[in-house]
Amino acid sequence: MGASLVAALIATVLAAVPAAHAAPAAADVFCDVPGQELAISPVDELVEDEPVTALTTVKGTTPTTLSGEYIGKIDGALGFDAHGRPLDLLLVRLSGPEVDRAGIWAGASGSPVYDADGALLGAVAYGFSSQTHDVAGVTPAAYMKSIGELPGALPLSGAERQSVARAVGGDPGQTAKRLKPVQINFGASATQLDRVSSRLSKRFAGFQRVATDARSIDGGVDSGDDLPIVVGGNIAVSYAYGAVGQATVGTVTAVCGDQVFAYGHPNSYDSTLTASFHGATAAMIVPDGGSSYKQVGKIGKRVGTITQDRLAGIRGTLGAYADTVRVTTQSRVGTHRSTAVTHVSEKWLIGPAAYAQLGQDAMRLLDNFSVGSATVKWSIDYRRANGAAKTLSNANRYASFTSFAELLGMDVAEDVAALQSNPFETVTITGVRVSTEFSPEYRAARLTGVQVKQGGSWKAIKAGSTKKVVRGKSYAFRAVLSRAPHAQKQTSYVPFKVAVSKNGKRTSTIMLDALGETDFYDDDFYEVFAYEPSGGTFATLLAELDANVRNDQIAVTRVTASNRGRSKTTSRSLTAPTVVTDGSFSFKLEAPKKTAKKKTATAKR
């Protein structure tokens, strides 16, 4: 699901089969639980213009009734079942104040439709026009009762598209479109979650992208409201909830014991993804031509787990709760402290959720997207294939004057993805903990020079120059950091020492390079620079992750050479008090030639 829950929204071409095939026989009863008895309407006995009713929720949590009429069906429009039998799509025209004003809206999918005897025809699931329209495609109840056995769909022929158009009064060029459940995200934009999920899938082989897309809204926490799951009421399906979350909202078609049926079409069409479901409230129906939608007011606490996500709809179990992974961020700006928690049920969203939550923390505490600085420390708890519990810990410093909120969480997300997608063994993430210290200012510097301490004062060294040194002595230097463009004015220093060996090589070249990165790379970077572990074991992967290069580090490399042309290279890193965006500097040290010791003659006896 995501900018990709919007991907789930794209038009789905209807499937077709020869008209000579008969529709599959349906069971007569959808539910026989006492108090919830529900018959399945005998579709083959329906006649054109026969009255129907539908239940849906346009405000709050109480369903309202829509009137309508049966138009007909499109043979084989939904493809074939597991036995090769064609699956038909029913057509109804609905009426009511909201339908007359907005047409069939996103979020109406799953609304149950009944015949005159109160038997269930099926669920509103498809629309046919880019304009306001009152005709809905209905997934038959018999197919929904058999959720878990249905395959994909095949395209309609040109003649069959003409038949659809005549039936609904639309353009033959139009295809039936799956009615969207309303896509919403808690505390993060849809594009954020989708973008980072996409980038991680490009950078790490084996990482599974989970598409997301939606409108922002708070809710879903375990301490939230108890909102009902009722026939014709709202249902929210989430892969994560809390401070940051992702969910779709549609309508409940039927409840049978602890089994809940909804949507009438797939959510993500992937039953391997782990999703929770919640009650929800509707604020209003927003008219928007062919894109009208239900404005969701609130998501309640989770009440169950989705067990099937299939062509004919979704199915879940009330009272069953999927395991979730906690992503906890503790933030501080000045003396103010704040904690946020997200519960992630789908493992491939752990990294994207951590990324989005850090960005949300920045915007929430600084009330600003573009400018800021932060020191971030994170710990990722995980379980190895042998059951051993381990923790990967890292830290980094970030600063930006254009896209601060986008920078913060990518390193955390990449560490999570690297562990999850590693080619050596199965690793299970069990928790993510992040602590961040924010500043509202852009704090960044450039490496602009080096100074040496002489006679109690600091003297500048000219780039490329040679400094005479004494063998056996240690010299104090400091890197000079000047403010980066747009940063607050300040000059800071990072001290380091260089020892000159008594018997070492005569000359040394000292090179300093800033290691910081402040860019939020585009998609091409993640595709071109895909991550590949350099070693062949999980231990070498961990060593690489532990050795992450920080944005506040300066590399100091020393190359010593002798007159014979042989050289030795050593490197170390200095940690600066701020992000170091760029800069390099080099100079030479030259010791005097070693004086050969004169041999003392001994007198012969």
In a domain, 521, yes or no: no
The predicted pLDDT at position 23 comes to 37
Handedness of CA 272, 274, 278, 284 (dihedral sign): negative
Q: 307 and 330 in one domain?
A: no
- Domain boundary among the residues 305, 322, 339 is at 322
- Angle at Cα 372 formed by Cα 370 and Cα 375, nearest 5°? 135
pLDDT reading at 558 higher than 60: yes
Q: 467 and 386 in one domain?
A: no
pLDDT reading at 156 higher than 90: no
In a domain, 522, yes or no: no
Q: What is the CA radius of gyration of the chain?
A: 32
> Tokens representing 299?
């998501």
Q: 208 and 251 in one domain?
A: yes
In a domain, 538, yes or no: no
In a domain, 222, yes or no: yes
The domain that holds 360 is classified in CATH as 3.30.1490
In a domain, 531, yes or no: no
Q: 474 and 430 in one domain?
A: no
* Structural contact between residues 545 and 418, judged by C-beta atoms closer than 8 angstroms: yes
Q: Which of the pair, 539 or 130, is modelled with greater confidence?
A: 539
Furthest C-alpha separation in the chain: 136
In a domain, 597, yes or no: no
Q: Is 196 helix (H, G, I), strand (E, B) or coil?
A: helix
- pLDDT category of residue 151 using cuts at 50, 70 and 90: very low
Listed residue (53, 56, 86) closest to 70, CA to CA? 53
Handedness of CA 202, 203, 207, 209 (dihedral sign): negative
Q: 287 and 424 in one domain?
A: no
Task: Report the half-sphere exposure of 51 (CA within 13 A, side-chain side).
Answer: 7
Instruction: Give 347-371 as a 3 state SS string.
Output: HHHHHHHHHHHHHHHHHHHHCCCCC
- Domain boundary among the residues 439, 471, 489 is at 439
In a domain, 567, yes or no: yes
Domain of 391 in residue numbering reads as 325-439
Q: 495 and 410 in one domain?
A: no
Q: 233 and 166 in one domain?
A: yes
> Tokens representing 197?
């999920």
Q: 76 and 225 in one domain?
A: yes
- Domain boundary among the residues 279, 298, 322 is at 322
- pLDDT category of residue 8 using cuts at 50, 70 and 90: very low
In a domain, 230, yes or no: yes
pLDDT reading at 596 higher than 90: no
- Residue 202 has φ and ψ, to the nearest 5°, of -80, -35
Q: Which of the pair, 567 or 36, is modelled with greater confidence?
A: 36
The predicted pLDDT at position 214 comes to 41
Share of the chain above pLDDT 90, in %: 56
The arithmetic mean of pLDDT across residues 276-293, rounded, is: 81
* Structural contact between residues 9 and 212, judged by C-beta atoms closer than 8 angstroms: no
Q: 255 and 240 in one domain?
A: yes
The DSSP element (H or E) to which 342 belongs, if any, is strand 336-344
pLDDT digits (tens, 9 = 90+) for 211-220: 544 433 445 5
> Tokens representing 295?
């404005």
* Structural contact between residues 200 and 209, judged by C-beta atoms closer than 8 angstroms: yes
- Name the domain count of the chain: 3
Q: What is the residue-averaged pLDDT of the chain?
A: 82
Listed residue (349, 228, 348) closest to 277, CA to CA? 228
Q: 352 and 298 in one domain?
A: no
The predicted pLDDT at position 9 comes to 25
The arithmetic mean of pLDDT across residues 136-152, rounded, is: 81
- pLDDT category of residue 564 using cuts at 50, 70 and 90: low
Q: Which of the pair, 103 or 181, is modelled with greater confidence?
A: 103
State which amino acid sits at residue 426. T
- Poorest-pLDDT segment among 8-22, 304-318, 406-420: 8-22
> Tokens representing 136?
């809905």
- pLDDT category of residue 252 using cuts at 50, 70 and 90: very high
Q: 461 and 435 in one domain?
A: no
Could you tell me how many residues make up the chain?
A: 605
243: left (phi > 0), else alpha (psi -120 to 50), else beta?
alpha
C-alpha to C-alpha distance for 391 and 430, rounded to whole angstroms:
10
Contacts of 143 (CB under 8 A, 6+ apart): 78, 81, 87, 122, 150, 311, 312
Q: 217 and 99 in one domain?
A: yes
